[in-house]
Structure 1
Amino acid sequence: MTKLPSSVRDYSAVPSENGSPLSSFEFWPGWIFYTPIVIYWILLGLRYRDFSTPTAANPRIETGGLCGESKSGILDMAGTTASRWIAPYTTLFTSTDDTRRAEEAMAHKGLSLPVVVKPDIGCNGTGVKLARTSAELDAALAAFPRGIKLVIQRLIPYRHEAGLFYIRHPDSPHGTLSSLTYKDIPALSGNGRDTVLELLKQDPRTRLLLHIYTPRLQNRLHEVLPEGETIDLVFTGNHCKGAIFRNGAADITPALTARLDEIMQDIPDFHFGRVDVKFDSVDALRAGEKFEIIEINGVGSEATHIWDSRTSLREAYAAQFHHYGETFRIGAKKKKAGWKSSGLWHGVRLWRRQKRLLASYPMND
Structure 2
Amino acid sequence: MIHGGMTLEDKNYVNQLIPQKFRAKSFFVKENIEAENVLDIIKQNHLSYPVILKPNNGCRGRNVEIIENETHLHSYLKIFGNEDLLLEEYVDLRKEIGVFYIRFPNSEKGFISGVVEKKGVEVVGDGKQTLAELIKYNFRYHKFYPQVFQNTTFNENYIPEKDERVLLSSIGNHARGATFYDSSYKISDKLEDLFNEICSSMDGFYYGRFDVKFNSWRDLENGENFKIIELNGAASEPTFIYDPENFYLFAITEIMRHWDYMYQIAKINKEKGHRFTGREECWSLFKEYNPFSI
Structure 1 length-normalised TM: 0.72
Match of 2:70 among 115, 130, 134: 134
Question: Which residue of the partner structure matches residue 147 of structure 2?
Answer: 216
- CA–CA separation in structure 1 for the residues paired with 2:94 and 2:291: 32
Using the aligned pairs only, state the percent identity: 28
Q: Residues 321, 89 of structure 1: CA spacing in aligned structure 2 closer, same or farther, 3 A cutoff? A: same
Question: Which residue of the partner structure matches residue 63 of structure 1?
Answer: 3
Q: Residues 339, 246 of structure 1: CA spacing in aligned structure 2 closer, same or farther, 3 A cutoff? A: same
- In structure 1, the gaps of 5 or more residues are 1-60, 358-365
Match of 2:21 among 66, 84, 87: 84
Question: Shift of the alpha carbon at 1:113?
Answer: 2.7
Q: Residues 310, 286 of structure 1: CA spacing in aligned structure 2 closer, same or farther, 3 A cutoff? A: farther
Matched, 1:246 2:181: yes
Q: CA deviation digits over 1:138-169, x for unaligned, max 9?
A: 222222152x1111000001021100000000
Q: Residues 110, 227 of structure 1: CA spacing in aligned structure 2 closer, same or farther, 3 A cutoff? A: closer
Question: Which residue of the partner structure matches residue 52 of structure 2?
Answer: 116
Match of 1:225 among 145, 154, 158: 158
Q: How does 1:19-168 map to 2 (within 5 A)?
A: 61-78=1-18, 82-97=19-34, 99-146=35-82, 148-168=83-103
Q: Which residue identity is paired with 2:31?
A: T
Q: Which residue identity is paired with 1:140?
A: Y
Structure 2 length-normalised TM: 0.88
How many residues end up aligned between the 2 structures?
288
Which structure has more relative contact order (CA 8 Å, sep 6+)? It is: 1
Question: Which residue of the partner structure matches residue 266 of structure 2?
Answer: 331
Q: CA deviation digits over 1:51-105, x for unaligned, max 9?
A: xxxxxxxxxx111111021111111123xxx2201001111112242x2111223
Q: CA deviation digits over 1:216-246, x for unaligned, max 9?
A: 2466899432234754343421134311111
Q: Which residue identity is paired with 2:23?
A: I
Q: CA deviation digits over 1:284-316, x for unaligned, max 9?
A: 234443210001100101111100011122221
| Contact map agreement 2:131 2:160 (CA 8 A) in 1 | no
Match of 2:199 among 264, 267, 286: 264
Question: Shift of the alpha carbon at 1:109?
Answer: 3.8
| Contact map agreement 1:70 1:120 (CA 8 A) in 2 | yes
Question: Which residue of the partner structure matches residue 25 of structure 1?
Answer: none
- CA–CA separation in structure 2 for the residues paired with 1:322 and 1:289: 31
| Contact map agreement 1:189 1:225 (CA 8 A) in 2 | no
CA RMSD of aligned residues (A): 2.5
| Contact map agreement 1:90 1:106 (CA 8 A) in 2 | no
| Contact map agreement 2:119 2:170 (CA 8 A) in 1 | no
Question: Which residue of the partner structure matches residue 13 of structure 1?
Answer: none
- CA–CA separation in structure 1 for the residues paired with 2:59 and 2:148: 22
Question: Which residue of the partner structure matches residue 33 of structure 1?
Answer: none
- In structure 2, the gaps of 5 or more residues are none
| Contact map agreement 1:115 1:131 (CA 8 A) in 2 | yes
| Partner-residue secondary structure (3-state), 2:147 | coil
